[in-house]
Structure 1
Amino acid sequence: MLTLEAIRIQMREAETVLKALDKTLECITFDSSDRESVDAAIGQVTQTIDTKLKGFKNNPILSPMVEELKAQYVEGIQTQVADSELKRA
């Protein structure tokens, strides 16, 4: 069982990594009207999350979040695409 201090350390690590990940992912750009650009952005999101969180497989806070984070960011891209399509229609 983890001590309270160990949990605090893992939470600080998670916070730092998640902030850095968010900044990196915010820089990913794409053309919502170009399917190849959208697909490339989704690939970049997946690769970035895998790369940034690779060293945290044993962190009980970050490890379970990997797939959830990917889904959230991909959903964000898909929402932008859908919004763009509505504006063009």
Structure 2
Amino acid sequence: LKTLRVDGSQAVQHEQISLLVFPGLLITFRERRDDLFDSLSQRLVQGRGRIRSLGSDYLAFVVMDSVADRYFSLTDALEETIKAV
């Protein structure tokens, strides 16, 4: 997967995220640490939602959904920047 983010200098940065899905196990590889999966990590620690009970394939779906959501956030931010110009 590729994800995008805006850094402190308002430049768009990309990152590669790789997923390995096994029964009962999800391994992710990332180039850098940021807040993309913080809410997901909190949900796992607190045991909220269905993430723990639906298996690693569902967890992989939630990870991919988080990446897709970031694209929407970036699109909204870019739209606001374009409107300001």
TM bin (shorter chain): 0.3 to 0.5
- In terms of Rg, which structure is larger? 1
If the length of structure 1 is used for normalisation, what is the TM-score?
Answer: 0.41
If the length of structure 2 is used for normalisation, what is the TM-score?
Answer: 0.42
* Higher helix proportion: 1
* Higher strand proportion: 2
